[in-house]
Chains A and B, each alone.
Chain A
Amino acid sequence: MKTIRKSFHLYLHYISINIRSMMQYKTSFFLSAMGQFLVSFNVFLGIFFMFRRFRTVEDFSYGEVLLCFSIVLLEFSLAEMFVRGFDAFSGIVRSGEFDRILVRPQNEILQVLGSRFELSRIGRMIQAIVMFVYGVANSHVNWNLSKAVTVIFMLIGGTAVFSALFLIYAALCFFTLEGLEFMNVFTDGAREFGKYPIGIYGKKMLLFTTFLVPYALIQYYPLLYLLGKRESVLYLFMPLFACLFLLPAFLLWKFGVRHYKSSGS
């Protein structure tokens, strides 16, 4: 217990260092935050104009899609903010920086997490929150306690799934040294195409995202419950099952660490 508290303190310290160093370049910070905002704003405009022409997509209305889009965006930006350290991990491995991490008497995941904290993702997050409010106002959800819990579970599960994907991305760097660009399909691609409920992409895609990479568990199924299209409480807990996805990611990471051969100079 004590070690957990200590690690948590250390992590907070890492975050504060990161924020302070970023605040030395305030203009750069605001510009990248604005950029994050603009990029996702384009996605929103795409949805907006598609719905000017089409009333619904597979029984989902405009407000419902916005709700879906905003939750996925929020999940993604949360994961990106905290777990971004893994994204730059190929650099850490290649420069030999990971050797230094290993000799320190601290958990290596904590140190990698602490190496980067992207506050500029706040731009995307603000966008997500605005969209969420807009979506709530437009989607006619009958809010009650269980629906609110669903949203919270979705956020937890979604952040976990995206974090697991970043972790897998980093773990693969142990074997390839290079960051594998095709992994972007699973992270950026999921953010991009998660704007619509996964069910619209067809049955096979739904199967894939249920059993292989559990996007549907954090997006499609709980969304159906949220919108009152399904009643079963099972859908409410699906995002928590999705957290299990962290397990194989963590094992892959451990496997990678054990097989790590220093490459740096």
Chain B
Amino acid sequence: MKKYLSFFRLRFTMGLQYRAAALAGIVTQFTWGFMEVMMFRAFYRSDASAFPMSFSATASYVWLQQAFLAFFMVWMMENEIFDSIINGNIAYELCRPINLYNMWFSRSMATRLSRAVLRCFPVLGVAFFVPSPYGLEPPADFFHFALFLVTLVLGFAVTVSFCMLIYFFTFFTVSPQGLRILFTSLVEFFAGAVIPLPFFPENIQRIMEALPFAAMQNVSLRIFSGSMNEVQMQKAVALQVFWLLVLTAAGKLLCRFAEKKVTIQGG
């Protein structure tokens, strides 16, 4: 456990170095959030009764999504891992007395966390002062906030464990391009990154909510803005735990299989 923690710390401090990039990211995220809120406003003005959740809840959803982008965007994967699989550097990793899965897991978590830490506070801070209903509304009570934090961590872990599957699939396909493109666009759509899940028609939404992708950003962002009732929350958290276990188990299995079959590319 200790070695993975130090891997984590190493990557985390490394990620914190990229402050100029983070500043540019903050500007981008803020503009994105602003435009998204304006877009929803236009739909709200056209037909308020068709809105599946309150407008301020939608705005909060958008702002949180922008603030925690680094937690949930599947396309932010570690290029170094892909490179090592392609160019054969993976051989060095395999020599080390460590578990590959755990190391990459802690490493991905650290990179994403460092990015999120640098970016989330300015975005959240500004969004908080945007006049209501366009800004970020605080959650209804402490219970919702606590549950938000718990589900945020769970969703983050589900996202990372899903990315791990893609890394290990690359062992078999060698070129990661196709897999990455396919999975990232798939996840974006089903996770509610294109439009929040409540905006989908009910029968489609019911299917989507059972998929692992809904266990990523959907749950925590909706709990924060209070657009889930108690039964829905219980179900959603249970599903999150379930998918985290399934995805991690699948990843570990795939890892063992890949390690046995590994072909080293390059010299």
Does residue A143 face the partner (Cβ distance < 8 Å to B)?
A: no
A53–B194 touching, CB < 8 Å? no
Q: With A and B bound together, what is the CA distance between A58 and B43 in angstroms? A: 7
Partner of B42, one of A27, A45, A57, A181: A57
Complex interface: stretch among B135-143, B174-182, B228-236:
B174-182
Least CB distance from A56 to B in Å reads: 5
Does residue A24 face the partner (Cβ distance < 8 Å to B)?
A: no
Least CB distance from A68 to B in Å reads: 13
A35–B35 touching, CB < 8 Å? no
Least CB distance from B260 to A in Å reads: 26
Closest to B39 in A: A196
Contacts A31-B177, A31-B178, A53-B199 known; A39 to B39 CB distance under 8 Å? no
Residues of B within 8 A of A41 (CB): 185
Residues of B within 8 A of A182 (CB): 24, 27-28
Does residue A52 face the partner (Cβ distance < 8 Å to B)?
A: yes
Contact code string B78-91 (vs A, CB < 8 Å = 1, else 0): 00000000000000
A201–B35 touching, CB < 8 Å? yes
Does residue A213 face the partner (Cβ distance < 8 Å to B)?
A: no
User: Which residues of chain B (14-53) have a CB below 8 Å from chain A?
Assistant: 20-21, 24-25, 27-28, 31-32, 35, 38-39, 41-43, 45-47, 50, 52
Q: With A and B bound together, what is the CA distance between A164 and B50 in angstroms? A: 40
Number of interface residues of A (CB under 8 A): 36
User: Which residues of chain B (204-227) have a CB below 8 Å from chain A?
Assistant: 204
Closest to B42 in A: A200
Partner of B200, one of A31, A32, A49, A205: A49
Closest to B30 in A: A185
Least CB distance from A246 to B in Å reads: 24
Contacts A42-B185, A185-B28, A201-B35 known; A53 to B50 CB distance under 8 Å? yes
Residues of A within 8 A of B199 (CB): 49-50, 53
Contacts A28-B177, A32-B177, A43-B194 known; A58 to B42 CB distance under 8 Å? yes
Least CB distance from A35 to B in Å reads: 3
A41, A57, A178 interface centre (most CB from chain B within 10 Å): A57
A54–B46 touching, CB < 8 Å? yes
Number of interface residues of B (CB under 8 A): 33
Contacts A32-B177, A45-B189 known; A55 to B25 CB distance under 8 Å? no
User: Which residues of chain B (148-200) have a CB below 8 Å from chain A?
Assistant: 175, 177-178, 181-182, 185, 188-189, 194-195, 199-200
Contact code string A162-195 (vs B, CB < 8 Å = 1, else 0): 0000000000000000101110110001001100
User: Which residues of chain B (42-82) have a CB below 8 Å from chain A?
Assistant: 42-43, 45-47, 50, 52
Least CB distance from A239 to B in Å reads: 22
Q: With A and B bound together, what is the CA distance between A78 and B185 in angstroms? A: 22
A46–B42 touching, CB < 8 Å? no
Closest to A196 in B: B39
User: Which residues of chain A (201-238) have a CB below 8 Å from chain B?
Assistant: 201-202, 205
A42–B175 touching, CB < 8 Å? no
Closest to A39 in B: B185
Closest to B52 in A: A53
Residue numbers of A with Cβ under 8 A of B are 27-28, 31-32, 34-35, 38-39, 41-43, 45-46, 49-50, 52-58, 178, 180-182, 184-185, 189, 192-193, 196, 200-202, 205
Residue numbers of B with Cβ under 8 A of A are 20-21, 24-25, 27-28, 31-32, 35, 38-39, 41-43, 45-47, 50, 52, 175, 177-178, 181-182, 185, 188-189, 194-195, 199-201, 204
The 9 listed contacts between A and B (C-beta, < 8 Å) are A42-B188, A45-B189, A49-B195, A53-B50, A55-B46, A185-B28, A185-B31, A196-B39, A200-B39
For the complex with contacts A52-B200, A54-B43, A182-B24, 17 further pairs of A-B residues with Cβ separation under 8 Å are: A27-B175, A28-B177, A31-B175, A31-B177, A31-B178, A32-B177, A38-B185, A42-B185, A49-B200, A50-B43, A53-B52, A54-B46, A182-B27, A189-B31, A189-B32, A189-B35, A192-B35
